[in-house]
Amino acid sequence: MNCSKCGHQNPDNVLVCESCGYNFSESETPQPKAKTSKMAVFSLILAISSLLFFVFTGLPAMLYGLKSLKNIRKSDKKLKGESIAKAGIILPVPLMCIFFLLFQIWRIDAPPISNDYTIYDIKSASPEYNHTYELLSSITGFFDKSIAVSGRGFWGAEIGYINKLYSENENDLQTISQKIKEKAKEITTMWDNAEKDREILQKLNSFPEIADLSEPGFMIKRSMIINVENLVRLYRAYITLQSIEGNHDQALNELIMLDSVLRKMSLNARSIAIKLFCNSCFEIDCFLLNFMINNPDTPNEILFKIRDQIDSLSGEHTLLRNTLIFEYLTIRNELDKMVNVPKLKNSPNRPLKYNSTLRFFRNYFDKLIANDENRKINNKFKIWPSFFPNIPVKMNNINKIDSLYFRIYNPEGYALIELVVPALNKAVLTKTKLLIYSDLLKIVFNARLGEEVDLTARAYSDEYIIDIENKYILSPGPDSEIGTLDDIKLPINPEVLGFTD
């Protein structure tokens, strides 16, 4: 056997080493290996976490480190990890300082915007026309309840039924004509009983401008929009009926008057709700003009008057600058309210960065305004504090912010941005839709007069499509695919327009 003391090789069964005299019969008690202190390891983990959680883990790390260091020294070498425990004691101090510095930097907002938009940047009617806003609000949507139409005392309900008639047969002019004929008596009665409301509309048309006195805010006169919308629907039914019955001058004169009022409303419209309402009414105008063009009995004299209406559809009435600035001011007012909410106002970490959020909105609105006016945007506001790197922050295709840094830096601001932006995009898409309707009307008009037809598309595709079999002319919508719900269509009578296979 080998001697455990000197290493000399001895014969088996000897009791004493031949070289050093070591007694092999003496037993050796092995010393246990020292274990790493779990408390020291836990102290180090807490210390590292103090970079994110400050004193909430920093102070416990120091206490556990001190306690584990004491236990190690008392363990008679049964515990180890003294350097780990010391790290748990020392590390929290610089890490908490770094956290405190980062926290203070994170709380800093971007600088305020100088020379920001004001209410005076919005185009408004002259002050002498301010009373037209109250006049517009006086349209009631009611008629004399002593005269019931089909058992209804509220003509909005009856016009709702007729509106459904249009929506269910939107691509079939012949069916619409037949259904409107069947409702001729009800439509005429409603028209007569809405005389006071029609007088208000005619009076509004006598003014060069119609004022919109809405103050920046998300609250709008919804009842006013509904009442005017019902009246516009009544005009659609009545004008359609007059065209069917051969009263072409009457139909066109009523349409021109209605269109004139809507254009004056649109020109000074402030809120998105009012602008979208005006644009939806312009779509009704387009339908009526298209209906007259496709009516084989409409004389050429009327058709040439219609041309003037078509050509003016793409003018300044479709511009969105007024609405966009107004909505920006509305958002700024809402931000002012949010800043004073106790939960946000008293929060130590400032989850809403007022100036940063406002700067993002200003950039976004300026881009929309520039696109609306076919020009390039000159300058963009930096949405970070002055000494921060200018990390780009954009909206992706699904209206979500693509920057994780901005979400962490400004959580309440980014939530508001993602809530508001889709509504703004809807207004832009509605304008494009209206301009496409204008193009489709020109195509239909030229075809009716046997003139050259240009199918070049404005957006979403290369060419507009004439579907003779299904009797409509169309443009794909924003998804650029034909046969989906966002297709933009006008129904046609192919025979009247001279379209053949």
Q: What are the tens digits of pLDDT across the range 345-379?
A: 667 667 888 999 999 999 989 988 898 888 888 78
Asked if pLDDT for residue 115 goes beyond 70, the answer is: yes
C-beta atoms surrounding 275 within 10 Å: 26
What pLDDT is attached to residue 236? 93
Q: Is the dihedral of CA 67, 73, 76, 78 positive or negative?
A: positive
User: What does pLDDT average to over the chain?
Assistant: 83
Asked if pLDDT for residue 293 goes beyond 80, the answer is: yes
What pLDDT is attached to residue 313? 63
Dump pLDDT digits (tens) for 372-402. Answer: 888 888 788 999 998 888 888 887 777 788 8
What pLDDT is attached to residue 32? 63
| Least confident among 30-44, 134-148, 304-318 | 134-148
The full set of domain ranges for the chain reads: 1-30, 35-106, 323-421
Q: How far apart are CA 268 and CA 33, in angstroms?
A: 87
Burial class (CB in 10 A: 0-12, 13-18, 19+), 265: buried
Dump pLDDT digits (tens) for 10-28. Answer: 887 777 787 787 776 654 5
Which one has a higher pLDDT value, 30 or 115? Answer: 115
The contacts of residue 361 (CB under 8 Å, 6+ apart) are 328, 331, 332, 417, 420
Residue 222's Cβ-side half-sphere holds a number of Cα atoms within 13 Å equal to 2
Q: How far apart are CA 383 and CA 359, in angstroms?
A: 6
What pLDDT is attached to residue 386? 87
Asked if pLDDT for residue 450 goes beyond 50, the answer is: yes
Asked if pLDDT for residue 53 goes beyond 80, the answer is: no
Average pLDDT (5-11) is: 77
Angle at 72 between CA 87 and CA 98, to 5 degrees: 15
Which one has a higher pLDDT value, 49 or 275? Answer: 275
Q: How far apart are CA 366 and CA 324, in angstroms?
A: 9
- Band of pLDDT at residue 261, cut at 50, 70 and 90: very high
Q: What are the start-end ranges of the E strands in 135-215? A: none
Closest CA to 25 of 13, 41, 37: 13
Q: How far apart are CA 472 and CA 78, in angstroms?
A: 90
**Can you tell me whether residue 107 is helix, strand or coil?**
coil
Q: How far apart are CA 219 and CA 354, in angstroms?
A: 22
**Can you tell me whether residue 452 is helix, strand or coil?**
coil
Distance of CA 356 to the CA centre of its chain: 18
What pLDDT is attached to residue 273? 85
Asked if pLDDT for residue 149 goes beyond 50, the answer is: no
- Cross-strand bridge partners of residue 490: 473
Asked if 308 contacts 459 with a C-beta cutoff of 8 angstroms, the reply is no
What pLDDT is attached to residue 340? 81
Residue 356's Cβ-side half-sphere holds a number of Cα atoms within 13 Å equal to 30
Token readout for 113 is: 């915007």
Q: Residue for token digits 């909505």?
A: 327
The contacts of residue 182 (CB under 8 Å, 6+ apart) are none
Q: Residue for token digits 């021109």?
A: 256
| Least confident among 233-242, 307-316, 434-443 | 307-316
Asked if 390 contacts 382 with a C-beta cutoff of 8 angstroms, the reply is yes
DSSP for 282-345 reads HHHHHHHHHHHHH-TT--HHHHHHHHHHHHTTTSGGG--HHHHHHHHHHHHHHHHHHHTSHHHH
Token readout for 312 is: 């003016």
Q: How far apart are CA 39 and CA 75, in angstroms?
A: 13
- Band of pLDDT at residue 151, cut at 50, 70 and 90: very low
Q: How far apart are CA 441 and CA 293, in angstroms?
A: 9
Closest CA to 41 of 101, 102, 85: 85
Q: Residue for token digits 């075809």?
A: 447
What pLDDT is attached to residue 312? 66
Which one has a higher pLDDT value, 436 or 92? Answer: 436
Alpha carbon of 267 to those of 209, 263, 318: distances in Å? Answer: 8, 6, 8
DSSP letter (8 states) at residue 459: S
Q: How far apart are CA 287 and CA 235, in angstroms?
A: 12
- Band of pLDDT at residue 314, cut at 50, 70 and 90: low
Distance of CA 163 to the CA centre of its chain: 28
What pLDDT is attached to residue 248? 94
What pLDDT is attached to residue 153? 35
- Band of pLDDT at residue 156, cut at 50, 70 and 90: low
**Most trustworthy range by pLDDT among 30-39, 166-175, 279-288:** 279-288
What pLDDT is attached to residue 152? 36
Q: Residue for token digits 């909430």?
A: 56
What pLDDT is attached to residue 298? 93
Average pLDDT (265-279) is: 88
What pLDDT is attached to residue 359? 93
What pLDDT is attached to residue 219? 67
What pLDDT is attached to residue 395? 78
The contacts of residue 294 (CB under 8 Å, 6+ apart) are 173, 444, 448, 491, 492, 493, 496, 497
C-beta atoms surrounding 21 within 10 Å: 10
Token readout for 78 is: 């049964």
**Can you tell me whether residue 101 is helix, strand or coil?**
helix
Asked if pLDDT for residue 282 goes beyond 50, the answer is: yes
| Least confident among 11-20, 92-101, 236-245, 392-401 | 92-101
- Cross-strand bridge partners of residue 491: 472
Asked if 82 contacts 72 with a C-beta cutoff of 8 angstroms, the reply is yes
Q: Residue for token digits 């008293």?
A: 346
Q: Is 81 left (phi over 0), alpha (psi -120 to 50) or beta?
A: left
Radius of gyration of the chain (CA): 39
Q: At 386, which amino acid appears?
A: S
- Please give the model's pTM, rounded to 2 decimal places: 0.75
